[in-house]
Amino acid sequence: MTLEDRTCLITGSSRGIGRGIAEELGREGAQVVVNYRSSTEGARAAVDEIEDAGGEAIAVQADVTDRDAVDDMHATVHDAFGPVDVLVNNAGITRDKKFENMTREDWDRVVEVNLGGVFNCTKAFWEDVRDAEEGRLVNIASVVGQQGNIGQANYATTKSGLFGFTRTVALELASGNSTANCVAPGFVKTDMLEGVPEPVKDHILDRVPLDRFAEVEDITGIVRFLASEDSSYMTGQILAANGGMEW
């Protein structure tokens, strides 16, 4: 599943799942664009990791909610590597509260990043992915978009919204032999999970048949497959990686 001569852009890849994806694709020979909003140190560390393994990478700062910044990122990437073959929409945030306590600001901010950011980045790199020999669009959703979760009405809405978006753009990309798929991870050992109280984590774990939270590597291998030629006959799909949780 080599990715040599492929340019891959991963949004929100200075930490967590995004960083793991960037490093995984870099190890497979891709030219990697590490996008970040504010964590310069994390983005630089990801680039160093890829380069130390013999790969090529650049870090590009851009807030995915800012269309002008995303357009600037497009220009920077084209100057460095040329058109993007693989776009991984990973950037996302949470603002968790029970719905009765959720403000319109909490709602709007999560929608702005998790859906608005996907629109901005996909729009900016649409022609790249569409016109690539085998373009790949990979959206990172969540099991929460499939099941819902107390205190995450805003987050669940955005992640389930990615399912419909993925299926639709998959149809629109198909004539050019490019694909769009979605990965819906379960609960992964990242900073986001670290912030969850222990009793809540215990309750979540009781619902996972494999009796463990996912490692970042459990997700990155799936994205590597979707970015490769091996997935050329798979499009419009939601790949659930949740340890067997029902949905």
Is 10 in contact with 88 (CB distance < 8 Å)?
A: yes
Residue that is written with structure tokens 């389930």 in the block: 160
- Residue 167's φ and ψ, nearest 5 degrees, are -65, -35
- Of 155, 163, 165, 187, which is the active-site residue? 155
What strands, in cross-sheet order, belong to the sheet with 7-10?
56-61, 31-36, 7-10, 86-89, 136-140, 179-185, 238-241
Considering only CA atoms, which of 179, 182, 167 is closest in space to residue 233?
179
**Residues whose CB is less than 8 angstroms from the CB of residue 70 and which lie 6 or more positions away in sequence, other chains included:** 62, 64, 120, 121, 124
Question: Is 155 considered catalytic here?
Answer: yes
Q: Which residues pair with 60 in a beta bridge?
A: 35
Token pair, residue 118, equals 């996907």
Q: Where are the alpha helices (DSSP H) in 132-152?
A: 144-147
Q: Which residue numbers are catalytic?
A: 155
